Amino acid sequence: MDQLLDSAKMQMAKVIEVLKQDLSTVRAGKATPSLVEHIVVNAYQGTQKLKVIELAQVQAQDPQTLVITPYDASIIGEIHKAIMDSGTGFTPVIDGQLIRISIPPLSEERRQQLVSLVHQKLEGGRIQVRQQRHEAMSEVKKQLNDKAISEDDDERLEKEIQKLTDDTITQIDSLGKQKEEELMAI
């Protein structure tokens, strides 16, 4: 019965990790490698689909500039095209053996759009956490019906699952507040 609780904890921790990674892709007006690392590139004439991070070193040269240095100079054009087509709004420039991306400052309107996007991602995380709670509660009820656990255990597990859910939702809200402050800082 404690493995049920441990399983729920693991699943909710995974939701938090995925959400953290997802939020890191929302740019906050400064250059960070995570803005382009996960863009998929059709490398080597389309024979392989790889992420930018697998094909190149990505560094923030300064708060407004990203520098991408391909491990194989022959695919620089393919990386450039993937970034152009990614929908990020970045305009990469090929500079010899590397690609430079200037990150423009965010307008107030764009900041509001990004805050809205963050709220959507947070709500997705909350939905996943509630789904995990629902699955855990269903399993507790199943075990109670199968007489595998007592009513006291059922009550205790339900309270612990609810506390775990509430704690995880609080973590999600905290992540969102941090990201929103980061986006609204000028």
Give pLDDT tens digits for 113-139: 888 889 999 999 999 999 999 999 999
- pLDDT at position 1, please? 63
- pLDDT at position 184, please? 81
Residue predicted with more confidence, 184 or 167: 167
- Residue 94's Cα: distance from chain center in Å? 28
Give the residue range(s) of CATH 1.10.132.20 domains in the chain.
Answer: 2-24+107-184
Locus of tokens 């000028």:
186
Q: What are phi and psi of 69, to 5 degrees?
A: -115, 105
The listed CATH number (1.25.40.10, 1.10.1270.20, 1.10.132.20, 3.30.930.10) that belongs to domain 2-24+107-184? 1.10.132.20
Give the residue range(s) of CATH 3.30.1360.40 domains in the chain.
Answer: 33-102
Average pLDDT (95-119) is 87
Give pLDDT tens digits for 3-29: 888 999 999 999 999 999 888 877 666
The predicted model scores a pTM of: 0.68
State how far the Cα of 156 lies from the Cα of 41, in Å rounded to an integer: 50
33-102 CATH fold: Gyrase A; domain 2 (3.30.1360)
Strands 98-102 and 92-95 turn out to be antiparallel
Average pLDDT (136-163) is 91
